[in-house]
Homo-oligomer: A and B are copies of this chain.
Amino acid sequence: MGRPPTNTKLRLLETAHELIWRNSYGAVSVDGICEKANVKKGSFYHYFPSKADLAIASIDWWMTNTIPFLDDIFSPSRHPIDRFTLLIDFIYEKQEDMRIEFGQVCGCPFITLGSELAAQDEVIGAKISAITQQKMSYYENALRDMIAMGLIDKNADVKLKAEEIYAFITGNMMLARIKNDLKFMKTSLKPSLMNLIGVQLTTEDLKKLTI
């Protein structure tokens, strides 16, 4: 009974995510999102109580979409070093796709939005912090496997190292966005990350790490 659901809400989530990622929260208007999503403003406010709510919902939606990829990349069946190299591949490819399509390296949508809004809205700060924690738990898991395999120092502080890795990758994505340049990410991020993690690689191994 009643009129069935449509994909309007999804279109709003997708459009908002893309526009905010490419530009910024402040530079994107509700009118702009509606126009691009081909949705009238009344419909927008039928689905979301405010612009801020849409932004939060869109990052939730994006994280939900991302988890299956992370589960694949960080599958316990993979060699833990491969998990990290695959992660960098995954990040790089998405960034390069967007650079080609939009002419702009877009960086991490969570961090960019979080950095912009953390001081204005503590809900978004908490949300992004939780996502950060969630991503680091993948890293911790892999690091523990690396310890078990004798690949890194068995006394390494796994939580600390995961935080270092996250900060390092995040910092690189941010700089890539600002410089609109993926050179470092393409040629140096993998070996630098391996060095940070503390894995000893042969020169031959190192050569393979450029994307």
Pair A180/B106 contact, Cβ less than 8 Å:
no
Query: Is A168 interfacial (CB 8 A cutoff)?
Result: yes
Interfacial chain B residues near A115, Cβ < 8 Å: 107, 111-112, 115-116, 174, 177-178
**Copy number in this complex?**
2
Give a binary string over A111-143; 1 marks a CB under 8 Å from any B CB, 0 the rest.
110111111101001001100100000000000
Of B106, B116, B163, B179, the residue contacting A184 (CB under 8 A) is B163
Interfacial chain B residues near A25, Cβ < 8 Å: 26
Query: Is A148 interfacial (CB 8 A cutoff)?
Result: no
Pair B178/A125 contact, Cβ less than 8 Å:
yes
Pair A180/B26 contact, Cβ less than 8 Å:
no
A122 to chain B, nearest CB (A): 8
Query: Is A75 interfacial (CB 8 A cutoff)?
Result: no
In Å, the complex CA distance between A118 and B111 comes to 14
Query: Is A1 interfacial (CB 8 A cutoff)?
Result: no
Q: What residues make up the interface of A, taking CB atoms closer than 8 Å to B?
A: 22-27, 104, 106-107, 111-112, 114-120, 122, 125, 128-129, 132, 160, 163-164, 166-172, 174-175, 177-180, 184, 188, 192, 195-196, 198
Given A129-B178, A171-B169, A179-B125; A27-B26 close (CB under 8 Å): yes
Identify 6 new A-B residue pairs, CB closer than 8 A, beyond the known A115-B174, A171-B174, A196-B196: A24-B119, A115-B115, A122-B180, A132-B175, A168-B171, A170-B174
In Å, the complex CA distance between A192 and B198 comes to 12
In Å, the complex CA distance between A177 and B119 comes to 8
Of B117, B132, B179, B195, the residue contacting A24 (CB under 8 A) is B117
Of B107, B129, B164, B196, the residue contacting A179 (CB under 8 A) is B129
5 A-B pairs closest in CB distance? A26-B26, A171-B171, A167-B171, A114-B178, A170-B171
Pair A26/B116 contact, Cβ less than 8 Å:
yes
In Å, the complex CA distance between A192 and B119 comes to 27
